[in-house]
Amino acid sequence: MREVRIAAFAKINLCLDILGKRPDGYHELRTIFQTVSLHDQLILLPSKQKEISLLIEGNTVLSQEAPQKNLVFRAVDALRRELKIRSGVEIDLKKKIPAGRGLGGGSSDAAAALLGYLRLTKRTMPYPRLLEIAASLGADVPFFLSGGRALGIGRGDEIYPLPDIPKVFLVIVSPKSIHVPTPDAYRWLKAGPLTLTKSVAHPKLWKFCALCWSTQGSGLSNDFEAPVFQRHPRLAQIKRALLQRGAAEASLAGSGSAVFGVFPSPVLARRAAVGFPDDQTFVCETLSRDRYVRKMQGTR
């Protein structure tokens, strides 16, 4: 029986600036996304049944939830409706990216499900329409259709590719006992209303624009750090420990609670990772857009 295997890669935010709260209730942000090699895996198989069957391994909480709530199920369901496909599909989602840690695992799973299902059914879809479906699933999902390094504006769903940076090695530390719901992080941030001055001439934008076109990738920043670290001092301790263990830079991942450090070599990264015995750690590397696309297409 023909099957499709596709990886769903995690992301970090090299920069994440919150400009203010929009009239529609969402926050206006500017961020630089970067895909990394840490990944989940999806296996899609044709089914003799007419339903979507979803099995989740590696995350007890997600496996016990109703499948219809999962972004993978919703992504495939949206494509089936759009393409008017009635045949069923079996999906096995093997989780490795920790959920709720700011690494984009759920959004990446959704994008991989969209691309994997199109491969399985040998169907195509105009890219603009695929982007619309991705955005309807979540703000980060459109980014994961192409990966690499990219600028995200608006809610983070308006994506513009950026030049890749040289490959760097990362240690991602995911504290097992700390979970930061994204709505809580935004509430703690207490962002004021978005104004024309803030959106066009925000003082951070000059630095941000320079970082966008830098090919070095230096200058990590994240507006969520101050409010999240204030409520969870352990995360600030992890950041300091990463720097003390040789990280050139370190930052909170998204709205947290994972923290990552950037290292010049995999050896130094592996040495640093052993210093967090009470936390879940991952040693990985950044993925260029070309390499990301090849992997998503099933080639090397």
- Local confidence band at 281 (pLDDT 50, 70, 90 cut-offs): very high
Asked if the structure places residue 294 within a domain, the reply is no
For residues 117 and 220, state if they share a domain: no
Mean pLDDT check: name the lowest of 80-94, 116-130, 174-188.
Answer: 174-188
Domain assignment present for residue 47? The answer is yes
Q: Are residues 131 and 184 in the same domain?
A: no
268 and 186 co-located in one domain: yes
Is residue 266 a part of any domain in this protein?
yes
**CATH value at residue 128:** 3.30.230.10
| pLDDT tens profile 261-275 | 999 999 999 999 999
pLDDT for the residue numbered 39:
97
Higher local confidence (pLDDT), 155 or 143: 143
Give the residue numbers annotated as catalytic, written as ranges: 11, 140
pTM of the model: 0.91
> In whole angstroms, what is the distance from residue 151 CA to residue 143 CA?
9
Q: Is the same domain home to 138 and 197?
A: no
Question: In this prediction, what percent of the chain has a pLDDT beyond 70?
Answer: 91
> Mind listing the pLDDT tens digit for each residue in 226-240?
999 999 999 999 999
Q: Are residues 180 and 276 in the same domain?
A: yes
Give the mean model confidence (pLDDT) for residues 60-74: 91
**How far apart are alpha carbons 117 and 243 in whole angstroms?**
41
> Is 213 among the domain residues?
yes
Q: What is the pLDDT of residue 208?
A: 57
How many structural domains are present in the chain? 2
The predicted pLDDT at position 2 comes to 85
In a domain? residue 291: no
User: Which of 162, 194, 211 is the endpoint of a domain?
Assistant: 162
Q: Are residues 231 and 179 part of one domain?
A: yes
pLDDT at residue 1, as a whole number = 57
Instruction: Select from 143, 162, 181 the last residue of a domain.
Output: 162
Query: Beta 158-161 vs 259-263: how paired, if at all?
Result: unpaired
Mean pLDDT value across residues 150-169: 90
Contacts (Cβ under 8 Å, ≥6 apart) of 126: none
Distances (CA, A) of 203 to 67, 188, 209, 223: 44, 21, 11, 14
Cα 182 to Cα 248: distance, rounded to the nearest angstrom:
27
Q: Is residue 40 part of a domain?
A: yes
pLDDT score at 77 = 97
Average predicted confidence (pLDDT) for the chain: 90
Q: What is the mean pLDDT of the segment spanning 55-65?
A: 90
Pick 139 or 11 by higher pLDDT: 11
Would the pLDDT of 5 be above 90?
yes
Dihedrals phi, psi of 18, to nearest 5 degrees: -100, 120
- Last residue within a domain, chosen from 145, 162, 179: 162
The CATH number given to whatever domain includes residue 193 is 3.30.70.890
Burial class (CB in 10 A: 0-12, 13-18, 19+), 88: middle
**Residue holding tokens 């070095």?**
216
β partners of residue 56: 93
Q: Give yes or no: residues 226 and 139 share one domain.
A: no
Q: With bands split at pLDDT 50, 70 and 90, how would you rate the model's confidence at 299?
A: low
Residues 123 and 183 in one domain: no
Cα R_g (the chain), whole angstroms:
19
- 22 and 138 in a single domain? The answer is yes
Residue 12 included in any domain? yes
| Residue 293: inside a domain | no
Q: What pLDDT score does 47 carry?
A: 92
210 and 237 assigned to the same domain: yes
Diameter of the chain by CA atoms?
58
Predicted pLDDT of residue 205: 55
Please check whether residues 229 and 82 belong to one and the same domain: no
Confidence of residue 219 (pLDDT cuts 50, 70, 90): confident
Q: Categorize the per-residue pLDDT at 27 as very low, low, confident or very high, splitting at 50, 70 and 90.
A: confident
Q: Are residues 27 and 150 in the same domain?
A: yes
What's the pLDDT score for residue 212?
A: 55
- Angle (CA) 143-146-151 rounded to 5° is 45
- Predicted confidence band of residue 100 (pLDDT cuts 50, 70, 90): confident
- Domain with 88 in it: 4-162
The pLDDT confidence band at residue 87, using thresholds 50, 70 and 90, is very high
Burial letters for 220-229: b for 16+ Cβ neighbours within 10 Å, e otherwise? Answer: bbbbbbebbb
105-114, 175-184, 197-206, 219-228 — which is least confidently predicted?
197-206
Query: With pLDDT > 90 as the criterion, what percentage of the chain qualifies?
Result: 72
The pLDDT value recorded for residue 61 is 86
Is the distance from CB of 242 to CB of 250 less than 8 angstroms? Answer: yes
